[in-house]
Amino acid sequence: MNNCCEPSVPQPDSSFETFARPVADWQARLMASLTRSVQASDQNLGHLEEAILHWTRDLERKLLEEAAQKKADQSPPVCPVCGHKLSRRTRDQERTFHSRFGPVTVKRLRGWCRRCAAWRFPADHALGLSDTGGASPSVQEMAALTVSKMPVQEASAVIERLTGVKLPPATLDREARRQGQRADQQRTQLDEQMRTVQGAGQMLPRPQAPLTLVIELDAWNIRERDDWGHSTQKRAAGQEPSRWHWVYGGTCFRLDQRVTSAGGRARILSCGTVMTRSGVAGLREQLFAEAQRHGLAQAAKVLVVADGAVWIWNLPGDRFAQAQQRLDYYHASQHLWAVAHALHPEAEVAARAWVQPLLKKLKGGRVTALLNDLRTLAKRLRKKKRAAVQAEVAYLESHRERMDYAAARRNGEPQGSGAMESTCRQYQCRFKRPGQFWSCAGDEGLMCLETFWRNDRWQLLFPHILHGDPRKN
Ligand SMILES: [Zn+2]
């Protein structure tokens, strides 16, 4: 419902006062400052850059304030939630918020929505201000981006240095959490869309050749304070408060997106990552949506690659029922090394000499021959050594269908889940810093922000970023 022609809404005025006198003032001051800087022998380009930033900032702030006021004045007096006309309207309700150029104040209309039974500020909605936080969309983005990459204290100092925006850590933390929550809601909506016809809009273009979809899985620990403040009661009740929780991650990509660099390292051009605190079931559902975006329904082959953890092989279930499974090669080789060290404790050279022919068999996909070798060996051993070899035989036997490394090389498929492990390490760098405790919901939101960034969907959260990009505008 758009009532922009309603008589009570003033028509926008296309002239900006800021372009009159303030521009002349700005020009005079900046010119003087630049001239001084040019003449000073101890000042370089950095001083010139700072001078332009410093002297232009207030002009930018005034322009933003004036334009924001015009936009506020133009907002029709209707409820932004239900579209109902507002009653009991009052004007000139001031609100000050943090903007990219410093604090900005606008006066806006307040009215009562009878249908929602709530006070509404239509201008806030038009400007993209949330009901609670005091940050402009650009500052909301700054909070989301920096806090999902670094600790809040550091982020606060970095923002101030780079942009001049002063956001105390507590304010920044609140804003980042709010954005995290919003990201989490948006992700849920996008994933739900994938179950309907609307999901087609999120899908990657259909490939020409038959498609192999690769899914890699991994998990890691995070420290949280979900029992914060309740430790004493929990201990009194005989329970140890838990601090460490699992984060489950998955990444999926089309095999044609995996290229080898000049140095021989595999690189993935485009992949979709999922990282969640909401358990294996949560990962399965999020990963299913992500795999659908990457062409799960059209895939001629789906391949799941991961280390040996039990949860991983239980995950595919009905969502990825046809998937072929592969045990990470490095992980499998570690089990052979375990036998080598059991047979030759503290004799690295002998252990290495023993393990080489077996690694060759593993790499060549000759799993039956490898297992026969190990069984023959076990028969010759006694007690501890025999048990050690038998344990590894049992482990490798349970994964024998997942060790087709020769076929992997022939098909140009990954032999290991290195891409996912490296992604997990990158998340850990941010989320495992000493002294950091968040709640489960806080973690999920911040990780969700990081995932939007990685999956190149940041613009879905902050559509204003497309405005300055001529390629996307
Ligand atoms: Zn309403």
Q: What is the Å distance from ligand 1's center to 105 Cα? A: 25
Q: What is the Å distance from ligand 1's center to 7 Cα? A: 21
CA 402 to chain CA centroid, Å, is 30
Q: What is the Å distance from ligand 1's center to 120 Cα? A: 8
Give residue-wise pLDDT tens across range 51-77: 999 999 999 999 999 999 999 999 999
Q: Which of 459, 453, 461, 455 is nearest to 472 (CA)?
A: 459
Domain boundaries, the chain: 197-328+416-438, 330-402
Q: Which pLDDT value is given to residue 14?
A: 78
Q: What is the Å distance from ligand 1's center to 318 Cα? A: 43
Is the pLDDT at 381 greater than 60? The verdict is yes
CA distance 1 to 85: 10
pTM of the model: 0.86
Q: What is the Å distance from ligand 1's center to 118 Cα? A: 7
Q: Which pLDDT value is given to residue 5?
A: 47
Q: What is the Å distance from ligand 1's center to 112 Cα? A: 8
Give residue-wise pLDDT tens across range 276-286: 999 999 999 99
Q: What is the Å distance from ligand 1's center to 182 Cα? A: 21
Q: What is the Å distance from ligand 1's center to 91 Cα? A: 18
Q: What is the Å distance from ligand 1's center to 86 Cα? A: 8
CA distance 391 to 361: 19
pLDDT band for position 254 (50/70/90)? very high
- What's at 180, amino acid-wise? G
Give residue-wise pLDDT tens across range 191-250: 999 989 888 888 888 777 789 999 999 999 887 655 555 666 666 666 665 667 889 999
Q: What is the Å distance from ligand 1's center to 92 Cα? A: 21
Give residue-wise pLDDT tens across range 118-145: 999 999 999 999 988 899 999 999 999 9
Q: What is the Å distance from ligand 1's center to 125 Cα? A: 12
